[in-house]
């Protein structure tokens, strides 16, 4: 059984043969490469646990280039092989991330100790990573919640395209989860360890958008007292989310097009070109094709950002998702407020019946509001009616009547045998009228509708009882 895999990089064939033979006899798998630049192609097929890298290269090779390549070998340890005269170079290699160094002529016993420690370290790290991967739940696109055909299609697309670097354009009405989709793509991508930078293209004034995106140099304009990094630089190696890109001014569209085409940009006032490695995800609630026809959006930029188009549907076209969204949002609210929240059946039915023109955002905000006034954590229809009286009283008068008076029992619900039935009925009517008027803030029409009376009938009873 192999103790580990070693890549030996040295331009001396005799040394390679001798060292390779010795390491192989010690139980290691060894592959050799004559030059450091060729070693990277070897690593495509040979997953080395250790790299032995010779810095005693011919004059035509720049040691500084070789040092810079150390970090390109990835997380695996690198041991530098040097001549005695190159001790300073070896120490610099350590500062660049090398694991250790050893000088020629090599002492086999010393090499055995250094190699064993380095290989054991890397093998242990790989085993720990495998264990962590096993016990850590696999990330998926479940943050985009819903059971509708559109929700299922969106989740399937997210999981397919997230591991790639393809540009994505997310379209759909406001409040349908475009930023949730974009963040989920980032979190499932190889860039998840780097920044997700969000830019609302319509919220930043046109004359500031360029400096916010590209940054600026000292003295570029009045008030620019020092260099400042832009959002593009902050998003390097990560994901740049351009929200409402349809509102981006035309001059900025031209400059963004250059970034997407060339992967470079200039800070405002700067002459040094900057390179950028960033994935771009854009979102809009506008019809970009119509904006192109009207001259408000560049056609070439449209095809640069489009890549894959993910379209979200308004909530009133996928109302079946409400039954999934409401419990999920309630769970989030329970976790945030450290209190368990629930909905009565009538309250859940009310949420299912609404059209939600503000889409998922409006639904979530509505839930956030009603739980703040719920008694003992249960949201009833009467709680909803306090915040949305018009919507509830018009469409759910029977439900609100049952919910309101069931949720607020009174002493009159218990018979008092010392008074006549007529008197008890009178007291109950007085109490119900007062509750209805109080609930509807004195609006007699709404109170009468809830009580099943005409407006004049309510007025007559109020006068009879002196209310």
For the chain, the residue count is 467
Q: Using CA atoms, how far apart are residues 443 and 448, in angstroms rounded to an integer?
A: 9
**Contacts of 194 by beta carbon, 8 Å cutoff, 6+ apart:** 235, 236, 237, 238, 239
The mean-pLDDT minimum among 75-89, 155-169, 172-186, 330-344 falls in 75-89
- CATH code 3.60.150.10 for 5-135: no
- Which pair of structure tokens corresponds to residue 380? 């009833």
C-alpha angle 308-313-318 in degrees, rounded to nearest 5: 135
Residues of the chain with CATH 3.40.50.300: 149-313
Q: What is the pLDDT of residues 268-310, one digit of tens each?
A: 999 888 999 999 999 999 999 999 999 999 999 999 999 999 9
CATH class of the domain defined by 409-467: mainly alpha
Nearest to 284 by CA among 181, 192, 363, 215: 181
Beta strands at 274-275 and 264-265: parallel, antiparallel or unpaired? antiparallel
Please say whether the beta carbons of 28 and 4 come within 8 A.
yes
Residue 175: pLDDT band by 50, 70, 90 thresholds?
Answer: very high
Q: What is the pTM of this model?
A: 0.58
- Give the residue, 129 or 435, on which the prediction is more confident: 435
Q: What is the pLDDT of residues 382-403, one digit of tens each?
A: 889 888 888 885 445 444 444 4
Residues of the chain with CATH 1.10.10.60: 409-467
Residues of the chain with CATH 3.40.50.2300: 5-135
**Contacts of 424 by beta carbon, 8 Å cutoff, 6+ apart:** 412, 415, 416
Residue-averaged pLDDT of the chain: 83
Q: What is the pLDDT of residues 87-117, one digit of tens each?
A: 677 777 777 778 888 888 888 888 888 899 8
Q: Using CA atoms, how far apart are residues 196 and 379, in angstroms rounded to an integer?
A: 36
- Name the most confidently modeled range: 73-82, 204-213, 230-239, 408-417: 230-239
What are phi and psi for residue 222, nearest 5 degrees? -60, 125
- CATH code 3.40.50.300 for 149-313: yes
The helix (H) or strand (E) run that includes residue 197 is strand 196-200
What are phi and psi for residue 23, nearest 5 degrees? -65, -35
Please say whether the beta carbons of 457 and 448 come within 8 A.
yes
Residue 170: pLDDT band by 50, 70, 90 thresholds?
Answer: very high
Nearest to 191 by CA among 301, 123, 276: 276
Bridge partners of 105, per DSSP, are: none
Nearest to 405 by CA among 345, 451, 458: 451
On the question of pLDDT at 55 being above 80, the answer is no
């Amino acid at each position: 059984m192999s103790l580990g895999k070693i890549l030996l990089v040295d331009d001396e064939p005799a040394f390679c043969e001798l060292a390779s033979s010795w390491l192989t006899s010690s139980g290691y798998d060894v592959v050799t490469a004559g030059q450091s630049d060729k070693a990277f192609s070897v690593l495509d097929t040979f997953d080395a646990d250790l790299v032995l890298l010779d810095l005693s290269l011919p004059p035509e090779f720049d040691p500084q280039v070789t040092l810079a390549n150390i970090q390109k070998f990835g997380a695996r340890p690198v041991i530098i092989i040097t001549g005695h005269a190159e001790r300073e170079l070896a120490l610099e290699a350590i500062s660049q991330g090398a694991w250790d160094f050893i000088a020629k002529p090599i002492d086999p016993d010393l090499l055995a100790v250094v190699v064993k420690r380095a290989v054991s370290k890397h093998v242990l790290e790989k085993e720990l990573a495998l264990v962590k991967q096993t016990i850590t739940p696999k990330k998926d696109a479940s943050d985009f919640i819903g059971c509708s055909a559109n929700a299922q299609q969106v989740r399937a697309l997210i999981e397919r395209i997230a591991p790639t670097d393809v540009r994505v354009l997310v379209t759909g009405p406001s409040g349908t989860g475009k930023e949730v989709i974009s963040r989920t793509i980032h979190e499932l991508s190889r860039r998840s360890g780097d920044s997700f930078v969000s830019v609302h293209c319509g919220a930043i004034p046109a004359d500031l958008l360029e400096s916010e995106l590209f940054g600026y140099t000292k003295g570029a304009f009045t008030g620019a007292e020092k260099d400042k990094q832009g959002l593009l630089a902050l998003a390097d190696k990560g994901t740049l989310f351009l929200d409402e890109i349809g509102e981006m001014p035309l001059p900025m569209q031209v400059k963004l097009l250059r970034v997407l085409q060339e992967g470079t940009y200039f800070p405002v006032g700067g002459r040094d070109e900057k390179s950028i490695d960033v994935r771009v995800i854009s979102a809009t609630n506008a019809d970009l094709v119509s904006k192109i026809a009207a001259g408000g959006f560049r056609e070439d930029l449209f095809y640069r950002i489009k890549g894959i188009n993910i379209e979200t549907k308004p909530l009133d076209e996928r109302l079946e998702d409400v039954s999934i969204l409401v419990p999920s949002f309630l769970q989030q609210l329970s976790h945030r407020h450290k209190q368990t929240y629930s909905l009565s059946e009538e309250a859940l039915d009310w949420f299912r019946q609404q059209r939600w023109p503000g889409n998922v955002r409006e639904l979530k905000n509505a839930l956030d509001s009603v739980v703040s006034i719920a008694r003992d954590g249960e949201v009833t229809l009467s709680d909803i009616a306090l915040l949305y009286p018009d919507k509830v009283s018009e469409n759910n008068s029977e439900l609100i009547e049952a919910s309101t008076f069931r949720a607020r029992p009174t002493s009159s619900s218990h018979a008092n045998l010392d008074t006549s039935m007529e008197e008890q009925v009178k007291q109950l009517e007085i109490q119900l009228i007062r509750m209805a008027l109080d609930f509807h803030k004195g609006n007699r029409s709404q109170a009468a509708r809830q009580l099943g009376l005409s407006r004049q009938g309510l007025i007559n009873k109020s006068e009879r009882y002196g209310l």
